[in-house]
Amino acid sequence: MHAPEIVASPVAELVAVADPATDRRKAFADAFGVRHTFADHRAMLDAVRPDGTVVATPHTTHARIAADSLAAGAGVLVEKPFTIRPSDAWDLVALAERERLPLVVGLPYPFHPHAATVRRLLADGVIGRLVSVTGSFHSYVQQFYRGRPEEYHAVGRYALLAPEPGTYADPARSGGGQGQTQLSHLVGLLLAELPETPVRVSAQMSWLAPGIDLAVSATLSTEAGSVISLSSAGTATGPDSCTGILRYDGTDGWIEHDALHGTLTASVPLPSPSESEFGVYPAAAPVHTLIRLLVEPAYSNPADGRLGARTVDVVSACYASAAAGGRLITLPGR
């Protein structure tokens, strides 16, 4: 998703790739005309001195590679989950802000104009006092967690390279299952839209294997007293059975954002819809935003490092709560 956007950009050039696997590195370089290839990202940063890097690697490696990139003076797009540990996420935020470098997190849904519309409507109180939020993100991904990513070739999932079997199935590389890979989508969108701050989390998980969760149910509460219920499972039977919905209920009405299909419905009047230049699922928006930020530092970044770090706070708390039998976890004040 990211490489074609860079290649097509009139102001950016894809100059290097780093991957420890020789065959994957060569296949990528051949496909996108990349001149410089490296087995190690640090050698790439030293030799090429890029303006920006895209970190699309196994989850547990994100923090180290992103930190090295920022330290080398490169703006960064980090795929979700941003990091596994909240401390790493906030360290990256601090480093990017100190170095005045762009930091974009690969959470596409906040880039859709509907996210800003929902946040504005909620902040303006058009549905009265927000009472509850319910969210569902069910996806077609369980074979990733079983170490069988090749089974998705039939639905055209990969433009070039499939994930390696352990990328999602080995907890040492993935940091978890559905919570890291998919609940992070829903939490990121929620935090982009919600003008309140979640303060407590309780969660339960259904486990496919030790360290790999297949489903998550989480309950949150905000400082203003709203309650939030989120569910996510990786067992959808195909693309047509997936969901990605957030519904906001207030004392005077409701708003439902079907992010999967790009629609807003409500019991109150809605503004004229804004079109997304990147489509219903704006997967190309994060790398486009990184490129724009390198040229125009004031360009809007709906999924910046702070949103990414707050998302890590919540997802990490879900894992901690589930490990403790659903114990209520207080989120850190940020």
Which residues span the domain enclosing 22? 2-106
Closest CA to 95 of 106, 107, 83: 83
Q: What is the pLDDT of residues 16-48, one digit of tens each?
A: 999 999 999 999 999 999 999 999 999 999 999
CATH at 79: 3.40.50.720
Residues 188 and 167 occupy one common structural domain: yes
* E strands, 210-321, in order: 212-222, 227-233, 243-250, 253-258, 263-266
Report residue 70 as tokens. Answer: 């920022």
Residues 121 and 30 occupy one common structural domain: no
The pLDDT of residue 316 is 98
Classify residue 282: in a domain, yes or no: no
The pLDDT of residue 161 is 87
Question: Of 106, 130, 147, which residue is a domain's last?
Answer: 106
Residues 98 and 128 occupy one common structural domain: no
Q: What is the pLDDT of residues 141-198, one digit of tens each?
A: 999 999 999 888 766 677 788 899 999 999 999 999 999 999 999 999 999 999 999 9
Please state whether beta strands 16-18 and 36-38 pair in parallel, antiparallel, or not at all (unpaired): parallel
The pLDDT of residue 132 is 98
φ/ψ of 146, rounded to 5, equals -90, 0
The C-alpha atoms of residue 234 and residue 215 are separated, in whole angstroms, by 6
Residues 225 and 316 occupy one common structural domain: yes
The C-alpha atoms of residue 247 and residue 329 are separated, in whole angstroms, by 24
Classify residue 9: in a domain, yes or no: yes
pTM given for the model? 0.97
